[in-house]
Amino acid sequence: MLEEFNKFAMRGNVVDLAVGVIVGASFTGIVNSLVKDVITPPIGWITGGIDFSNFFLVLKGGTYATLADAAKAGAVTINYGLFLNTVINFLIVAFVLFLAVRQINRLFAAKAAGPAAPPEDVAILKEIRDLLKARP
pTM of the model: 0.55
Q: DSSP states of 7-57 as a string?
A: HHHTSHHHHHHHHHHHHHHHHHHHHHHIIIIIIHHHHHHHTTS--GGG--E
Secondary structure element (H or E) that encloses residue 58, with its range? strand 57-60
With beta carbons less than 8 A apart as the criterion, state whether 75 and 87 touch. Answer: no
Q: How far apart are CA 75 and CA 57, in angstroms?
A: 10
User: Of 42, 71, 45, which Cα lies nearest the Cα of 58?
Assistant: 71
Q: How many helices (H) and strands (E) does the chain have?
A: 6, 2
Q: For position 133, what pLDDT does the model report? A: 92
Give which of 38, 35, 30, 83 is closest to 56, Cα–Cα: 83
Render each residue's pLDDT in the chain as its tens digit; 136 residues: 888 877 776 666 777 778 788 888 887 788 778 777 887 788 778 888 777 778 899 998 889 988 899 999 999 999 998 898 888 878 877 887 788 888 888 887 766 666 677 888 988 999 999 999 998 7
